[in-house]
Amino acid sequence: MIHDTRVTPLNDRPDNVGRYVLYWMQAAQRSRSNHALELAIRRANAMALPVVVVFGLTETYPDANARHYRFMLDGLKEVAADLSSRGIAFIIRFGSPDEVAIELAGDAAFLVADRNDLRLPRKWRLGVAKAVSCPMVEVETDVIVPVDVVSHKHETQARTLRPRLHRQLADYLQPMADTDPEVRADGLRGLPPSTVDLTDTVRVVAGLPIDATVKPVRRLAPGRQAGLKQLDAFIAGPLQGYGSGRNEPAAFRVSFLSPYLHFGQISALEVALAVQADRRSNEEDRKAYLEELIVRRELTFNFVRHHPDNYDSLDCLPGWARKTLADHRSDPRDPCYDIPTLEVAETHDPYWNAAMREMIHTGFMHNYMRMYWGKKILEWMKTPEEAFGATLHLNNKYFLDGRDPNSYGNVLWIYGLHDRAWTERPIFGKTRYMAASGLERKFDIKAYVRAVDRLVAAETN
């Protein structure tokens, strides 16, 4: 089922004569459980046309490096195989994604894109809508409930978003059938060929002018099949007891699904449905995970939607947070670190260093440690602006799930976004403070340090 509310027209071109329906894949890099692809297939069937899927591979996506590209391209390899087995053409070409889409849209009767509110893909999409002569729509398939259905404004706290979201959930938490096209694309002639050879993604990545020092990781295998396998493993294991055990860093009672969600290799909808249907877990465990997957995740999508120009800036913090950080701007920092010191994980704090090493070497970090890690950077750098810039930079460079709406919302949480004021103290002002003593009091944090040693060894041996 595809609700009309997922679909937004991006231009008002009249019906167009064309040879196929085109789906320009951007964020939703999957061939199943994808409302945008599904809409394209249904349109094509209604018009008795084949479906073409196009992907433009830019060499210069901000912050992207070998780690991200390998994960993405290995995922796209599976997309290509599955689409082709269903009679859907898949074309992947080097170039700016908007230009690649415009090139293919020349022969399209109808153009579908998947929605993503981050600046660059959004700018590309709006430019394409103007440039093409066929009708174009965007489909929201990254979220369970379309952002504008939940609320028309920025919800400043989870507790204001939560009831609005829950009111819509019964309606939107519905499985989506995957339709096959009735007209195969095999007969299409004269399409621009793929210029990216997905049979050898190692070579493709080696040929790109990107940072190769951030290497692919072994910890998380790329692609939809790996993502679905991880989902099964999560439900069978860590979900059991998730409610009470999710914050213990050494236990890694986490889903590890965020990289797959970030690249769109699996959908939040199918994850939510699978978790909801599980009967081995108790209700508390399922509720705790669904709160994170749905409420907390879609809170950041709401945030980005309503701060299109400054979601990556401290300007969009609530007034109390901006004021209190400014009041403490010149508080002395001791210690005071620069990015190179942080990036080699050589601070005085062994817990922080462990978190940083987990991030650098495995592309991932335990949820709870992400908060501690970010709070300490605020504490240890000269100004909040410098700390924020460094945190976002490291986040987007090393995490497989970086450069996501979640990244911006959650990094800003460190600085008070979606949070509240607490006791005033140096540097932090009234933003929430976190201390190493808290880790020692509540967790077996030394076990986390040892666990990271093992994880790093497994990546580098």
Partner DNA sequence: ATCGGCTCGCGCAA
Partner DNA sequence: TGCGCGAAGCCGAT
Q: Which residues bind DNA (CB under 7 A)?
A: 155-160, 163, 246-247, 291-292, 296, 318-320, 367-368, 371, 410, 413, 418-424, 430, 432-435, 437-438, 441-442
Comparing CA positions, the residue from 91, 35, 26 lying closest to residue 263 is 26
65 close to 214: Cβ distance less than 8 angstroms: yes
Question: Cα(58)–Cα(123) distance, rounded to whole angstroms?
Answer: 14
The least CB distance from residue 409 to DNA, in Å, is 8
Q: Which is nearer to DNA, 205 or 288 (CB)?
A: 288
Least Cβ distance, residue 273 to DNA (angstroms): 20
Cβ within 8 Å of residue 298, ≥6 positions away: 143, 144, 145, 147, 150, 161, 165
| Residue 382: CB minimum distance to DNA, A | 22
104 vs 150, beta carbon nearer DNA = 150
In the complex, the smallest distance separating the C-beta of residue 349 from DNA, rounded to whole angstroms, is 13
DSSP 3-state assignment of 93?
A: strand
Length of the chain measured in residues: 461
Rank residues 31 and 406 by Cβ distance to DNA and give the closer one: 406
Q: Where are the alpha helices (DSSP H) in 86-223?
A: 97-105, 119-131, 147-150, 158-172, 201-206
- Among residues 33 and 395, whose Cβ is nearest to DNA? 395
Q: Between 176 and 421, whose beta carbon lies closer to DNA?
A: 421
Long-range own/partner contacts, residues 316-320 (CB < 8 A, 24 or more apart)? 316/412, 316/417, 317/412, 317/415, 317/416, 317/417, 318/156, 318/416, 318/417, 320/416, 320/421, 320/430
For the bound state, the minimum distance from the C-beta of residue 430 to DNA, rounded and expressed in Å, comes to 5
The counts of H helices and E strands in the chain are: 21, 6
Q: Between 96 and 247, name the residue whose CB sits nearer to DNA.
A: 247
* Shortest distance in whole angstroms from residue 444 CB to DNA: 14
97/416 with CB nearer DNA: 416
Cβ nearer to DNA, comparing 85 with 244: 244
Quickly tell me which residue has 């090493």 as its tokens. Answer: 357
Q: Which two tokens stand for residue 155?
A: 């919800």
CB of 332 to DNA, least distance (A): 17
CA angle 17, 139, 66 (to 5 degrees): 105
Instruction: Return the number of the residue (10 or 161) whose C-beta is nearest DNA.
Output: 161
Tokens of 21: 């329906």
Q: How far is the CB of 368 from DNA (least distance, A)?
A: 6
Q: Which is nearer to DNA, 308 or 438 (CB)?
A: 438
Alpha-carbon gap, residue 287 to 281, rounded angstroms = 10
Smallest gap from Cβ 201 to DNA, in A, equals 32
CB of 152 vs DNA, minimal distance in Å: 11
> What three-state secondary structure class fits 115?
coil
- How far apart, in whole angstroms, are the C-alpha atoms of residue 233 and residue 226? 10
Would you call 135 exposed, middle or buried from its count of C-beta atoms within 10 A (0-12, 13-18, 19+)?
buried
Tokens at residue 119, please? 């600046």
Per-residue tokens: 83: 């689409």
